A and B are shown apart, each in its own frame.
Chain A
Amino acid sequence: MADSVTQILNSGPPGAKLNIAVLGDGFAAADQTAYNTKVQELLLDGVFGRDYFYEDKSAYNIFRVNLISAQSGVSQRVYNENNTPSDASDDTIVSTTIKNTALGYIYSGSWAHCWLEGGAGTGQKVQDALDTWVPDYDLVVVILNEAGFGGCGGGGFQIVTLGSSWAVMAHEFGHGTGNLADEYCARPGSYTGGEPGAPNLTINTNRATLKWRQFVSPATPVPTGTGACADYNAAPKPAGWSNSDDAGLFEGGGTWSLGIYRPAVNCRMRGNSPPYCPVCYTRMKSNAEPFAQHTFQNVYAGDFNGDGKDDILVHSGNAIHIYRSNGSQLDVVFSAVERVPGSWQFTPGDRFFVGDFNGDGKDEVAVFNGTNWVMEYLGLLADDGANGLKLIARYDNSMPGWDFTPGDRFHVADFNGDGKKDLFVFNGSNWAIPYVGMLRSTGTGFALAKRYDATMPGWEMRPGDRHVVGDFSGDGKEDLWVFNGSNWSIPYLGMLRSNGTSLSMSKRYDGTMPGWQMRANDRHYVGDFDGDGKADLYVFNGTNWSIAYLGMLESTGSQLSMTRRYDGNAPGWQMRAHDMHWIADINRDGKADLFVYNHQDWTPEYLGTMISSGTDLVSAWKEDWVGEWNLGTVDRFEPCDFEGVGGRRDLIVHNTDWLGMIRATPTLSLRRIYHKWIHNYRYGRNW
């Protein structure tokens, strides 16, 4: 068996990530499985299976180097500690038993000797192994095949025995990547030095200038705890106080018991197994931010656990996160980088389509990539039973009856009314003729129900066809609406009814609809605005006429009739060319309303609601700001129900660095705002 390397966490190119190299010493060929198991246990399941490191997996690469030692186990050294185990200066070597191992480490089990030490040439052997097997490294973990407890850290290295735990390793990574100081207080004396450079220790007891003052609630006394390695003792500890998540000012830290202060009663930098306190967590996140490369650009709302509250899926490059809504805030429940079991490998060109594809009351995710691989892929990601997603179906390049191409456009719709969302797919650009496919969900994958080549009943397909979906007939099967304003001498709108396996033309409008002269830039939004169980049509045109128009066209089940047309102004909203709309149900009355946003035509930006009475709209808006959210040109909106109250009255608003939760009732208001990362600080925030 030869030495080798396996990348067990692959987040990206080494220069763009923090790289952890794991080396083994004293593992003979027969020990390699045990070594691999230990690496899995300590690193992937341990450190990276929890809290901060789980969230930020995408900032790290892990390279597991399998070095084959000639002998099993490591060299041993026995010290005579002269009954002063904490003082190495008077120690003498009793014996040294050398084994022929890859790196030559010697285990002593002596705390004062860092439990272990390098042998002759160990430093060079480690360096040679790193140069040979890993492209780059920021942190190095060396695991010794030694059952006794021990570990020695520093300089980005930690050398541990089989007796070490993931928790100690996570603590050490706090030093190694965050420059965090220890928060425990093993020494009885008092610190007498100056202000420490570490972000999580201070000698300053002035609340106004405290370096982590942003995380300390005004209700928390400062100092919060005084005396040797103090707990909360300045006042009775408040109910609900978290020893790791609430920040204050507690005496003891940096190994000293007095004269120096730490931010939390018991953070990972003190007790190893608790999560990082707000101060340490923020430093770790901040350090890793350039490498994690997370943004809030691509956000998808869906109820992934079926609790009635919409969660969000955030896609950044080769990583996805699911944040669970509890009604008013989001918390990370799933983090995956590079791939999920199954397997789907995430890349920037992935396009996600959320819907309950198996009818289990939870949303699944169809994902398509037509740009990043040598062929196109369609996948179906479903609940993995542990708050995450796994791939349950994948179609590589094609599926029976449909050959995927980059220009495929998907629409989620339950076209056969079986309670499982299906997919309509259209391609108007990659073939000699356009195609529409009806991909029926089986619950575990997709099968082609029907394909239309160049024509559908009553409709000649063209590249510029644009589709929306909605059950205009009210039979429980979602139908297909198709508009073309660019490829013909007049615009056309077709209403194609689904019978579950095919489509039939219910009504086609050539140039005009009742009360509406169609134009190329008509934009269509399908929703049941009168609550009669049949999907109706909002149509807006802001650019083809001298003023903007918004029409409400009711579905009779087979065609449309004009309910109301607004010329220039809707009640409470002055319409302009660049108004953007999203279907909503803001007052939860079962009638489809609209969110409306305009960031181009006025000096400030406007976000509004247009609530349907069934025959009319009433609007309200916020100008420039919604609470602390400063509306901007880069903002994107995802209508949803993160509160879980029914209807669709909420918005996730997001851009590269910011994400907000907006509620529309009773008026537009901001529930939460997150910057760079989603974390619910008990008090304060990271900006």
Chain B
Amino acid sequence: MADERMQTGRGIKPVVGNTRLPRMTDMPPEPAAIGGKTLLMAAKPKADTGKTKRMPPPSTAVLRQTKTRPDMEAPKAKTAARAKDGYVRLRLRVTEGGRLTVVGAKAVEGELVEPKLQGALAYEAALGPRRIAAGGIPDVGEQRSFPDPKATLPEMKGHHVTELASYEVNVRVPKGAVKASELPKLEVALFRIKEDLPADAAVLAAAEPAPLGDQFQRELREVARLKGIKPDKLAKPVADQLKKAFK
């Protein structure tokens, strides 16, 4: 397309948008046929006598407003539509040495929005080379006592921080992305976010199939990895939760 820019000043000619169309005149318009007929509005239209699907008769009554009102009524179909989506929240325990184990699972209805790759840790869940979920986890691995408002020692004006040898995190995977039979192939990696990822990290990650740890080598450090979930090797309550969640 040519670089067309507006010009203003004396003598600038109008832009002709469509050479096949005429210019406006003072002549009355030629009536156009609609459905083969010339339809013209009457000078004094008569009231319509149609009988189908009409509003009830008009009324000028004022509706008294009540102090409380019921909830607005949602269509039932909406709930059914939501049930088609869904995800599974996996509760994972990280223990010393970077060991990851599943300690709980629950299916949740509705859409899943992935958190940004920001926080203390990032996670990536993958089936082979296919990433199925990723996100940030803000606060892990420590326990903090609230500052003492009547502190007798300076340090008690702050948190008493205890590093935890073991902690738990939630990882969410879309239900449709992994079948129960694929759980033994599901890998979940946890990374420490050493420094902030680029603001568009999630977009970059989505566009790039390479594992997060490879894409963001400088920013991420792997701290734990779960290589496959084998329900038969888990405690029965957890195995049952997994079966139910991925049913």
Residues of B with C-beta under 8 A to A153: 143-144, 146, 159
A544 to B22, CA, bound (A): 8
> Contact between B146 and A546 (Cβ–Cβ < 8 Å)?
no
Residues of B with C-beta under 8 A to A445: 62-63, 65
> Contact between B139 and A155 (Cβ–Cβ < 8 Å)?
yes
Residues of A with C-beta under 8 A to B146: 115, 149-153, 160, 164, 168, 172
Residues of A with C-beta under 8 A to B185: none
0 or 1 for each of B176-196: is its CB under 8 Å from A? (1 = yes): 000000000000000011111
> Contact between B155 and A488 (Cβ–Cβ < 8 Å)?
no
Interface window among B34-42, B206-214, B225-233 = B34-42
A528 CB within 8 Å of chain B: no
From known contacts A113-B145, A432-B52, infer whether A490 and B63 are also in contact, taking CB-CB under 8 Å. no
> Contact between B71 and A374 (Cβ–Cβ < 8 Å)?
no
> Contact between A186 and B154 (Cβ–Cβ < 8 Å)?
yes
Residues of B with C-beta under 8 A to A398: 56
Residues of B with C-beta under 8 A to A632: none
Residues of A with C-beta under 8 A to B129: none
B120 CB within 8 Å of chain A: yes
> Contact between B168 and A155 (Cβ–Cβ < 8 Å)?
yes
A392 CB within 8 Å of chain B: yes
Residues of B with C-beta under 8 A to A175: 138-139, 144
Taking the closest CB of chain B, its distance from the CB of A552, in whole angstroms, is 15
Residues of B with C-beta under 8 A to A403: 55-56
> Contact between A460 and B41 (Cβ–Cβ < 8 Å)?
yes
Residues of A with C-beta under 8 A to B55: 402-403, 431, 435, 451, 453
A178 CB within 8 Å of chain B: yes
Residues of A with C-beta under 8 A to B168: 155
Residues of B with C-beta under 8 A to A573: 6, 8
Interface window among A308-316, A553-561, A574-582, A662-670 = A574-582
Residues of A with C-beta under 8 A to B198: none
One of B16, B32, B54, B57 near A431 (C-beta < 8 A): B54
One of A114, A176, A568, A601 near B143 (C-beta < 8 A): A114
Question: Which residue of A is nearest B148, CB measured?
Answer: A111
A234 CB within 8 Å of chain B: no
A283 CB within 8 Å of chain B: yes
One of A195, A489, A569 near B33 (C-beta < 8 A): A489
From known contacts A343-B71, A577-B17, infer whether A490 and B29 are also in contact, taking CB-CB under 8 Å. yes
B165 CB within 8 Å of chain A: no
> Contact between B72 and A377 (Cβ–Cβ < 8 Å)?
yes
Residues of A with C-beta under 8 A to B148: 111, 149
Residues of B with C-beta under 8 A to A135: 106, 108-109
Secondary structure of the B contact surface, majority rule: loop
Residues of B with C-beta under 8 A to A546: 16-23
Residues of A with C-beta under 8 A to B8: 569, 571-574, 619
Residues of A with C-beta under 8 A to B195: 195, 197
One of B82, B145, B158 near A13 (C-beta < 8 A): B82
A549 CB within 8 Å of chain B: yes
0 or 1 for each of A511-530: is its CB under 8 Å from B? (1 = yes): 11001111100000000000
Taking the closest CB of chain A, its distance from the CB of B232, in whole angstroms, is 21
> Contact between B56 and A111 (Cβ–Cβ < 8 Å)?
no
Taking the closest CB of chain B, its distance from the CB of A616, in whole angstroms, is 15
Interface window among A97-105, A286-294, A414-422 = A286-294
A80 CB within 8 Å of chain B: no
Residues of B with C-beta under 8 A to A152: 143-146
Residues of A with C-beta under 8 A to B7: 574
B97 CB within 8 Å of chain A: no
0 or 1 for each of A134-161: is its CB under 8 Å from B? (1 = yes): 0111100000000001111111100010
CB within 8 Å of A: which of B72-122?
72-75, 82, 85-87, 89, 91, 103-104, 106, 108-116, 118-120
A197 to B60, CA, bound (A): 67
From known contacts A86-B160, A458-B45, A546-B23, infer whether A155 and B34 are also in contact, taking CB-CB under 8 Å. no
A403 to B154, CA, bound (A): 70
Question: Which residue of A is nearest B8, CB measured?
Answer: A572
Residues of A with C-beta under 8 A to B156: 85-86, 111, 186
From known contacts A16-B113, A211-B196, infer whether A491 and B118 are also in contact, taking CB-CB under 8 Å. no
A569 to B15, CA, bound (A): 8
Taking the closest CB of chain B, its distance from the CB of A251, in whole angstroms, is 16
A395 CB within 8 Å of chain B: yes
A571 to B138, CA, bound (A): 59
Question: Which residue of B is nearest A512, CB measured?
Answer: B28
A63 CB within 8 Å of chain B: no
Residues of B with C-beta under 8 A to A33: none
> Contact between B144 and A114 (Cβ–Cβ < 8 Å)?
yes
Question: Which residue of A is nearest B135, CB measured?
Answer: A290
From known contacts A13-B110, A175-B139, infer whether A114 and B41 are also in contact, taking CB-CB under 8 Å. no
> Contact between A400 and B63 (Cβ–Cβ < 8 Å)?
yes
> Contact between A576 and B17 (Cβ–Cβ < 8 Å)?
yes
> Contact between B114 and A290 (Cβ–Cβ < 8 Å)?
yes
A454 CB within 8 Å of chain B: yes
Q: List 28 A-B contacts (CB under 8 A).
A: A13-B110, A15-B110, A86-B160, A111-B148, A113-B145, A131-B106, A135-B108, A179-B118, A184-B157, A186-B154, A197-B192, A289-B116, A394-B65, A401-B61, A402-B55, A447-B61, A447-B62, A450-B58, A458-B43, A458-B44, A517-B25, A517-B28, A518-B29, A547-B14, A567-B23, A576-B17, A603-B3, A603-B4
**Taking beta carbons and an 8 Å cutoff, which residues of B are in contact with A?**
1-8, 12-29, 31-34, 37-48, 50-63, 65, 69, 71-75, 82, 85-87, 89, 91, 103-104, 106, 108-116, 118-120, 136, 138-162, 164, 167-170, 172, 192-196, 199, 241
Nearest 3 pairs of A and B residues by beta carbon:
A568-B14, A186-B158, A13-B110
Given A149-B146, A155-B169, A603-B4, 12 extra CB contacts under 8 A? A13-B82, A16-B110, A131-B104, A177-B138, A289-B116, A394-B65, A431-B53, A568-B15, A574-B6, A574-B7, A602-B4, A603-B2
